[in-house]
Amino acid sequence: MKITLKKLFIFLIIALLIIGGIAFLFGGGDLRNKMSRSGVALKSDDYRITVNMGNESKIYEMRGKVTSSPKGYYFFWYKTDQGKFYVQTPIALTVVEEM
């Protein structure tokens, strides 16, 4: 049986996909968590963003776009009577709800 370069290439691609899938499923929650939050941008809409800080909660009700960073933060621009403010909150402490 002769192994051609094309067959070897296809075999390697399939093997890498299988190994990657197994690593993703069983590689621990940290890997899945990082991949699931990397580069998420929620469409421009009305949102209620609740940041839970111990016994206190800060609630932002806004219309706009909410984006996440691969480092584990949501960020958005929040408008008040005093002006427009850039807000960055940890994903682990934040709940984003569409209103």
- pTM for the complete prediction? 0.57
- Are 28 and 47 found together in one domain? no
71 or 81, which is more confident: 81
Cα of 90 vs its chain's centroid, Å: 11
Report, as an integer, the average pLDDT of 33-55: 75
Kindly report the average pLDDT of the chain as a whole number.
82
Number of domains in the chain: 2
CA atoms of 12 and 55, how far apart (whole Å): 53
Residue-range definition of the domain harbouring residue 44: 39-98
Q: Give me the pLDDT at residue 24, please.
A: 67
CA atoms of 53 and 16, how far apart (whole Å): 42
Q: Give me the pLDDT at residue 96, please.
A: 87
Report, as an integer, the average pLDDT of 20-44: 64
- Are 46 and 89 found together in one domain? yes
Q: Give me the pLDDT at residue 82, please.
A: 92
CA atoms of 73 and 78, how far apart (whole Å): 15
- Are 77 and 31 found together in one domain? no
